[in-house]
Amino acid sequence: MSNIPADLKYAKSHEWIRPGADGIATIGITEYAQSSLGDITYVQLPQPGAALKAGDSFGVVESVKAASDLYAPVAGTVVEVNAGLDSAPEKVNQEPYGGGWMLKLKIDDLAELDALLDAAAYAAIVG
C-alpha cells in the first residue's frame, strides 16, 4: 500500500501539492508514481518565473524505463525549483514527499485546490 499523506492534495496525474500559508505551494510526485516509474535518472524542471495553467506540463521525469510528463495541479507562477535534483534525481525515489520535491508555485487562485483529490480519493484511484 502506497504512502498517501492525509495533509496533501493530489492530481489524478499523480502529483501532490502542499499549500503553504503564504499562498506558495510545494509540488512533487507521489510515492505511488515514483514506485511505478522505478529508478529515476533525470528530472527536467522549468525556470523560476514560468507561468503555468492547471494541467500544463511543467517538466519531465525520466526513469530507466521511460520519460513521463509532469503536470501542474493548479495555475500559478514558479518561484523556486529543486536544483538538488540535477545531481541527485534519486531523491524523488527516496523521499517523494520530502527532499524529492520539485517546485514551489505561487498559486493564482486558491479555489482551484478544491477541485483536487484528497488522500482518500487518490487512494481509491491507485488502489
Partner 1 sequence: MSILKRTPLFDFHVAHGGRMVDFAGWEMPVQYRSILDEHKAVRRAAGLFDVSHMGEVDVRGPGALAFLQSLVTNDLAKMTPGRVVYSPMCGETGGVIDDLLVHMRAPGDYFLCINAGNIDKDLAWLRERRAAAPGLDVTLADRSGDTALIAIQGPRAAGIVRSLASGPAVAAALDDLNYYHFATGLTIAGIPCSAVARTGYTGEDGFELYHRPEDAPRFAEALLAAGAPLGLELAGLGARDSLRLEAGFPLHGHEISGDISPLAAGLAWTVKFAKNSDFCGRAALEREARDGSARRVVFFKTGDRRIVRAGAAVIDEAGAPLGTVLSGTLSPILNEAIGSALIDTTALAAGRALLTDIRGAKIALHPVKPPFVALKK
Residue 62 within binding range of partner 1, rule CB under 8 A: yes
Residue 115 within binding range of partner 1, rule CB under 8 A: no
Residue 67 within binding range of partner 1, rule CB under 8 A: yes
Give the contact letters, 92-111, x = binds to partner 1 (CB under 8 A), - = no.
Answer: -x------------------
Cell numbers representing residue 65 in the block: 524505463
Residue 1 within binding range of partner 1, rule CB under 8 A: no
Applying CB under 8 A, the span of 3-11, 58-66, 75-83, 95-103 interacting with partner 1 comes to: 58-66
Residue 48 within binding range of partner 1, rule CB under 8 A: no
CB 40 within 8 A of CB 89: yes
Q: How far is the CB of 63 from partner 1 (least distance, A)?
A: 9
Kindly tell me the burial class for residue 95, based on how many C-beta atoms sit within 10 Å of its own C-beta (0-12, 13-18, 19 or more). Answer: middle
Edge to edge, the sheet with strand 57-63 lists 40-44, 57-63, 67-71
Three-state secondary-structure class, residue 110: helix
Written as one string, the DSSP assignment of 52-94 is E-TT-EEEEEEESS-EEEEE-SS-EEEEEE-GGGTT-TTHHHH
From candidates 19, 46, 76, 89, binder to partner 1 by CB under 8 A: 89
Under the rule (CB under 8 A), what is the footprint of partner 1? 38-39, 41-42, 44, 60, 62, 64-65, 67, 89-90, 93
